[in-house]
Structure 1
């Protein structure tokens, strides 16, 4: 019980530290969201008198007359009430609405791509590690090269070949603009069609890491005593590979996969930009360009909670799987 209490206490402190950094770091950046709104208002011929600026400061929670400590306490209080503020980039839309519109796109795209890359990399790594020294070893350098290729370069190659030259897939967007978003087959089919190339980019770029890690673990596990004992018992090679070697070799990969799931909500900013995909990565870039403190804080909050939650689940599961972890061994 003490193990679980220590873990929960640790992650509670980590969450508080992340929230604190989430508040102070954007305010250390040059620029101000109020200045951005005032510039937009002035371009449209609106009033720029001090009373208007004061109203924007109160609305966005960046009151220059209020001490930073009081702003920090107000920020924490708003978080407890679920209020993330108003977005400057999509003014006057609330941050929760902006995140709610873009986050599902990223979760579906990056989540499915991450799952596919993990499954493919782990299965191929298991086979390559079990049958090392064969022609299958050639998969390791091939996938490693793909993993070393920058996301944007691989994305541009896929766009040039499959979208521009062969015209098998659309160039840009997340769905056909003539359709209304909704849970209907026509829209889902269009979203899947538009998301194929972005997902393929993520799978090809990340599969090599899973394959290499699983292959190395399989090589070290094959020489363990329990594998030799299983062979001495006359068990089938396939059963030994899956039930004995792979079952133990996959544990570090499972931990890494759980952590990578936490980063799913962060999206793949470069990939989304290349394909003009309506995900959270584009919104984060837009928030940085517009000094949108509230939107930056909201997105970082979602990412932080997802990553810490994934790590917490992994730690708690390890405590159940391996009693030595709870004992501090």
Structure 2
């Protein structure tokens, strides 16, 4: 029990630190979102000079309160889910902007990450078990693909499968002629538009999981308990799965926690190439427009996702490998 309490306390402190930095860093950045917002309004016909003060109060950039008071107000608003008004999507609240774009990233990048982890780990276990055979030739090919930049691979897939062959659409997350909803036609369109972005993520990341699992399998197969299982005459499949792969996969579980947490961050470059309506595109849009409120909201969601995923996997890791609890107790 003490092990779990320590873990939870550590992540609570990490969350408080991240929230505090999330409050301070945008206020130290150059630029003024109110000036940007007023410039956009003036292009549409001008605004009353008194509107500047109203925008400052609404966006929380100059409330006239001390910094510590602003920090307390920020914590209170955050607890209520009020992250302010987005400048880049004015006058939409930040919570609505994030709620509209987050599911796209979670579904696309989440499923692609899970698929790449499962496929890479399974292939790595098989290649490590049969090291020295022709299967080892898979390792250099997949690691080369992992070294290819996301944007370059995405552009290649678009050029070949969209422009040249016409098998998949060039841009977007769904057919604009359809109304977003839970209809079968819309879901089929979303899946169809998401195939190329998902393929980019899977192809780019599968090599790292394969190589890591392969090396751990080679190391684990030299352990005494694997040799003992072989000497007992157990079936090869049982030795590979329950003795070698089960222990070799422990580092991959920890790595999967980090990858799963960063699913929320999405792949900014991939979403930008495909004009995919995910959280990565909104983050880039917020940076370009000095949208402090939206940046803070997205960074907070990313932080919570990363810390939450790592906490869950840390707790599960102690169940899979009880030695971690024993080591922490000593």
TM-score by length of 1: 0.97
How far apart in 1 are the matches of 2:169 and 2:44? 35
- The equivalent of 2:314 in structure 1 is 315
2:123 aligned residue: 124
1:147-186 matched pairs, under 5 angstroms: 147-186=146-185
Q: Which residue of 1 aligns with 2:222?
A: 223
In structure 2, the residue matched to 1:52 is 51
Q: 2:27 corresponds to which residue?
A: 27
Offset at residue 323 of structure 1 (A): 3.2
What root-mean-square deviation, in Å, do the aligned CA atoms of Structure 1 and Structure 2 show?
1.1
List structure 1 runs of 4+ shifted beyond 6 angstroms. none
Aligned counterparts of 1:2 and 1:244: Cα–Cα separation in 2: 30
Displacement after TM superposition at 1:25 (Å)? 1.1
Matches of 1:122 and 1:231, distance apart in 2 = 22
C-alpha separation between the residues in 2 aligned to 1:321 and 1:151? 33
Inter-partner Cα distance in structure 2 for 1:244 and 1:53: 67
What are structure 2's unaligned runs of at least 5 residues?
A: none
Deviations 1:96-134 (A, max 9, x none): 100000000000000110011011101110111010111
| Equivalence for 1:304 | 303
| Counterpart Cα distance in 2 of 1:264 and 1:201 | 14
Secondary structure, in 3 states, of the residue corresponding to 2:190?
helix
Following superposition, the deviation at residue 64 of structure 1 comes to 5.6
Separation in structure 1 between the aligned mates of residue 108 and residue 321 of structure 2, nearest angstrom: 33
**Aligned-pair CA distance for 1:48:** 4.1
The 8 Å contact of residues 57 and 63 in structure 2, kept in 1 or not, is answered as no
Q: How many residues align?
A: 328
Q: Distance in 2 between matches of 1:227 and 1:308?
A: 35
Task: Identify the range of structure 1 (27-36 vs 99-108) with the bigger mean alpha-carbon deviation.
Answer: 27-36
TM-score, length-scaled by structure 2: 0.97
Q: Say yes or no: does 1:199 pair with 2:198.
A: yes
Task: Supply the distance in 1 between the matched residues of 2:58 and 2:106 (Cα, whole angstroms).
Answer: 30
List per-residue Cα deviations over 1:213-244 (Å, max 9, x = no partner). 00000000111111111111111111111111
In 1, distance between residues paired with 2:247 and 2:197?
33
- The alpha carbon displacement at 1:166 in A equals 0.5
Displacement after TM superposition at 1:47 (Å): 1.7
Contact preservation (8 Å) 1:122, 1:214: yes
Which residue of 2 is the match for residue 273 of structure 1?
Answer: 272
Tell me, in whole angstroms, the C-alpha distance in 1 between the residues paired with 2:106 and 2:254: 19
The question of whether the paired residues in 2 share the 8 Å contact of 1:57 and 1:64 is answered with yes
The DSSP-based 3-state class of the residue aligned with 1:267 is coil
The residue number in structure 2 matching 1:16 is 16
Deviation of 1:90 after TM superposition, in Å, equals 0.6
Give CA deviations for 1:15-47 in whole Å, capped at 9, x if unaligned. 010001111111222111111111111111122
Task: Out of 122-131 and 39-48, give the one that drifted further.
Answer: 39-48
Does the Cα contact within 8 Å between 1:38 and 1:48 map onto a contact in 2?
no
8 A contact 1:62–1:71 mirrored in 2? no
